[in-house]
Structure 1
Amino acid sequence: MTTLTIQDVSRQSGLSEPTLRYYEEVGLLGPIARDERSGHRRYGEGDLDAAQVLACLRAMGVGIEDMRTYQANRRRGHAAAGEQRDILLRHTERVEEQIATLRIHLDYLRVKAALWDARERSDADAEAQAQTELHSILPLLEETFR
């Protein structure tokens, strides 16, 4: 059986060592085996797999409680497929909302850059067009701040 150190799992999962310890403490990982002589954590391949899943969920903004449910459902297998799907779809909706907000921010930045570019070139027509576009974006932008 392959055993990995906390440094190995940290490097391969992208989770810091303190995060790995915390995830074990709150029941997201483990229990992790310990070396009998040194007491150091020794992770198996299944532990590494779980840490990699948690790293992905964390990167997508999934909270601890949903991570806990997701991990428990992984152990349940097919019987929990519907609940797994629902967790992921709920977070999909949140990410889609974030993408829509970022698109508005991106549009604003591009229009403002075009406005300043037009001013630098003394292009009154392009400046007027950018001002018009800016006025259509501002209400959407203001909504993202609420």
Structure 2
Amino acid sequence: MSTTTIQGATARTGLSGPTLRYYEEVGLVGPIDRDPDSGHRRYGEQDLDALQALACLRAMGVGIEDMRTYQANRRRGNVAAAEQRDLLLRHAERVTQEIATLRVHLDYLQAKAALWDARDAGDPVAEAEAHLRVDAMLPALEAATR
């Protein structure tokens, strides 16, 4: 069985050494085998696969408790498929909402940039049009920031 050091695990997963140790401490992975001579952690392929899944979940804003549930469901296999699907779809809905909020923010920034572009160009007609666009999106912006 091939194993790697904590440095190899960080390179492969993108997770920091402290994060790897924390994930082991809270039971998301492991226990991680230790080198009998040095006592250093040695990560196997199964450990690395689990850590890669956790790195993806972390990047998507999934919290520790849902990561714990995800890992438990992975171990349970097909009998946990519906629960795993529901967990992932719940986070997909959250990400969808975040994307909608970011879209409103992007639209606002572009409209404000157009307003300042019109001012820079000395074009009062374009400035007035841009101002109307900005004003029209203020309710959506306020709703998105709540």
1:140 is aligned to: 140
Structure 2 distance, partners of 1:138, 1:88, is 32
Structure 2 distance, partners of 1:74, 1:93, is 21
Structure 1 distance, partners of 2:138, 2:46, is 50
Shift in Å, 1:145: 2.2
2:82 is aligned to: 82
1:56-112 superposed Cα distances (whole Å, 9 cap, x missing partner):
000000000000000010011110000110000000011011100100110010000
1:12-71 superposed Cα distances (whole Å, 9 cap, x missing partner):
000000000000000001010011111110110000000000000000000000000000
Structure 2 distance, partners of 1:43, 1:134, is 53
Shift in Å, 1:144: 2.1
Aligned length: 146
1:37 is aligned to: 37
Spell out the pairing of 1:50-129 with structure 2 (5 A cutoff): 50-129=50-129
Structure 1 distance, partners of 2:111, 2:126, is 11
Query: Structure 2: which 5+ runs fail to align?
Result: none
Shift in Å, 1:142: 1.1
Structure 2 distance, partners of 1:136, 1:84, is 41
Amino acid at match of 1:75: R
1:28 is aligned to: 28
CA contact (8 A) 2:101 2:145 kept: no
Shift in Å, 1:128: 1.0
Does residue 18 in structure 1 map to residue 44 in structure 2?
no
Q: Percent identity?
A: 70
Amino acid at match of 1:53: A
1:95-132 superposed Cα distances (whole Å, 9 cap, x missing partner):
01110010011001000000011011111111111011
Structure 1 residue ranges (4+ consecutive) displaced by more than 4 angstroms after TM superposition? none
